Amino acid sequence: MITFLLVFSGLIVCIVYLIGIYNEYYWKRRNVAFYKKHKVTSVLWDFVFKKKAVYLNLWEVYKEYRKEPAVGIGTFITPSLYVIDPTNVQHVLSTDFSSFNHRGLDVHKDDLLADNILFMNGNRWKLTRQHMTPLFTSTKLKSMYYIIDKSALDFVQHLNENKQLLKGDTFNTLMSFCSAAIGGAVFGISTGSIFDSPFLDMARNAFKATFSSNLSFAVLTLSGNLSNWLGLKFFTQHEKFFIGAIKQILRAREKENVKRHDFADLCVAIQKAGKMVDKETGLEMTPTDELLAAQAFFFFAAGVEPTATALFGTLYELGKDPEYLEKVHKEIDEAFEKNDKMNFDIIMGMKHLDMAFSEAMRLHPPIGFLTRQCIRDSVLPVGNIKVDKGSKIFTPIYEIHHDPKYYPEPEKFIPERFAPENKHKIADITYMPFGKGNRICVGLRYASLQSKAGLVHLLRNFTVRSIIHEGGPKYKAQAVQVRPYNVDVEFIPRNVA
């Protein structure tokens, strides 16, 4: 038995070694630099075994190969390219979208809640995205604003009634606001205790980093086939609760005669219309409760964690910059003096708030990097790099946002970078907290609105002070999320009429 194990382990080591050599050779032949630290698992090794967030590992590669247009990295036996030059990034995300429209993460077909726009590909993705987009038009957002506003007002009251929440684990506290806001605005959920609902628990756990979830993500990134062969599923533990809840919401809404213009209304209309049909390709999809629940599931998850990161990042930066905080307070106070109530236009028209929010999203983009897969041979313009069908692509977000070439003094919070008179100096492709191209975040306008409404009501009622624990800011080992910790934000009540 021992001999067998020794021979078997030796064989595995040899195979891994040969794959590493193959990966290196693959890119060398194309005149592309190769990241040699882990030739088979590259940035995923330290993610799983050293608990270092993937984007921070990519950041190391970025700094080392800053002058290269792209770097080959090992992801098992699939050729993978980490694209560094912004023109090449633009090519992948936007210019040659038809060659790179695949997300590069092939989830298990029985992972029902993963059958959402984020993970879908090809014509199914296109058709589903087309049907979901109407939820996020300006008209829809304007009509749902009053619900977001109410959640923010209720949240302020909730903080006032639970003073222990004013200091300590503010990220978590902000997640409860985000869950209530998206639950109310998008799904019409208003349970008795909206800041402590089972939906919030689900959103908190959906993308939680644990050793096994990180390992599963690493396997999925290395090889979709291997992940499917191992039967890895990510969200099955939420299926019963969430699909059940969505079914209940939809059945209740079918019986109601009131139009709320939210996700549930949209779903009822889609189901009433019968099959979803792509006229160009003839593809037909049935909008089952499960398919719609999968979309809702991701909307909910995205409405909670990344949105809480955006809020937290802004409050944290403002809490360190009393001078700029004063400007934002002034802008918000003036808006309240002039208007009885906030609305979409007032919130979205606040200049200093927008500058602070944009700069915080640059410093702390809630999603650190993007993935794509090449579905048709292509050539990256800078370096003339041939990319074969099937290759995986990683593109930077955090790294570009922190590159001194694009943002002088990149670690400093300088909202003036996003002042109307300066904005044009920032190239479109060097700022992408919501991604870029046709797969850009569907909920970006909703997420900005929800975050800004939260910020306005919080800062109307509280001022903030940032707390930096010993050792300074750190980042959790998340798969794609950028989640700061070891820092916090304290709310201090203001005396406003």
Q: Give the shortest CB-312-to-ligand HEM separation in angstroms.
A: 11
- Please state the φ and ψ torsions of residue 378, each to the nearest 5 degrees: -150, 170
Minimum CB distance to ligand HEM smaller for 214 or for 295: 295
Find the shortest distance in angstroms from Cβ 81 to ligand HEM: 16
How is 269-338 classified by DSSP, letter by letter?
HHHHT-SEE-TTT--EE---HHHHHHHHHHHHHHHHHHHHHHHHHHHHHHHH-HHHHHHHHHHHHHHHHH
Closest alpha carbon to 314 in 403, 413, 444, 443: 413
The residue among 33 and 246 lying less far from ligand HEM, judged by its C-beta, is 246
Find, among 9, 54, 61, the residue nearest to 34 by Cα.
Answer: 61
CB-based contact 162:154 (threshold 8 Å): no
In the bound state with ligand HEM, the residue whose beta carbon lies nearer, of 206 and 367, is 367
- The CA–CA distances, whole Å, from 488 to 339, 356, 449, 469, 472 equal 32, 18, 23, 8, 11
Q: How far is the CB of 400 from ligand HEM (least distance, A)?
A: 12
Rank residues 39 and 111 by Cβ distance to ligand HEM and give the closer one.
111
The residue (of 303 and 319) whose beta carbon lies closer to ligand HEM is: 303
Contact 175, 308 (CB under 8 A): yes
Question: What gap in Å lies between CA 447 and CA 392, rounded to an integer?
Answer: 28
CA distance 123 to 316: 41
Shortest spacing between CB 239 and ligand HEM, in angstroms: 19
Closer residue to ligand HEM in complex, CB, 89/165: 89
C-beta of 58 vs 118, nearer to ligand HEM:
118
- Which residues make up the interface to ligand HEM (CB under 6 A)? 117-118, 129, 298-299, 302-303, 306-307, 310, 366-367, 370, 433-437, 439-443, 446-447
Minimum CB distance to ligand HEM, residue 130 (Å): 10
Pairing state between β 385-387 and 378-380: antiparallel
| Maximum distance among all Cα pairs of the chain, rounded to whole angstroms | 82
At 122 the three-state DSSP class reads: helix
Smallest separation (angstroms) from ligand HEM to the CB of 482: 9
Query: Alpha-carbon distance 111 to 236, whole Å?
Result: 6
- Residue written as tokens 């004013």? 166
User: Quick one: 34 or 394, whose CB is closer to ligand HEM?
Assistant: 394
Q: What is the smallest separation between the CB atom of 302 and ligand HEM, expressed in angstroms?
A: 3
